Amino acid sequence: MKKYFLFCLILLLQNVYAENYNILGISKNYPKEKQLALDNWRNKIIKLANSNKETIFINGSTEKKMVALTFDDGPDTIVTPAVLDILKKYNVKA
């Protein structure tokens, strides 16, 4: 599960930057205790990403059009090959 979670954080085809990462986004309607828990989680993830910049990317560049794909159900013997075939057909780089 931990590897899957990290995969969700990876953005495709990003350059490695020297600056530290930050996780963007806030909600003024979020309960205070939930926001504190989220902030703690974000700090842990940012620390992990900053120490593994070769493989973990957060908030990719806004200068290029990019997308990150995540799959909530993990590898599947039917769906995964079909998705990979479509990506290959349209020359989508990963």
Task: Report whether 13 contacts 66 (CB < 8 A).
Answer: yes
| DSSP class of 11 | P
Distance of CA 16 to the CA centre of its chain: 14
pLDDT reported for residue 5: 47
What is the C-alpha to C-alpha distance for residues 38 and 35, in angstroms, rounded to an integer? 5
Reported as half-sphere exposure (CB side, CA atoms, 13 A), residue 88 has a value of 6
pLDDT values of the chain reduced to their tens digit, one per residue, 94 residues? 555 444 444 533 344 444 566 777 777 888 888 888 988 998 998 899 889 888 887 777 778 777 777 777 778 888 888 888 998 999 987 6
Report the predicted TM-score, pTM, of the whole model to 2 decimal places: 0.44
pLDDT reported for residue 1: 52
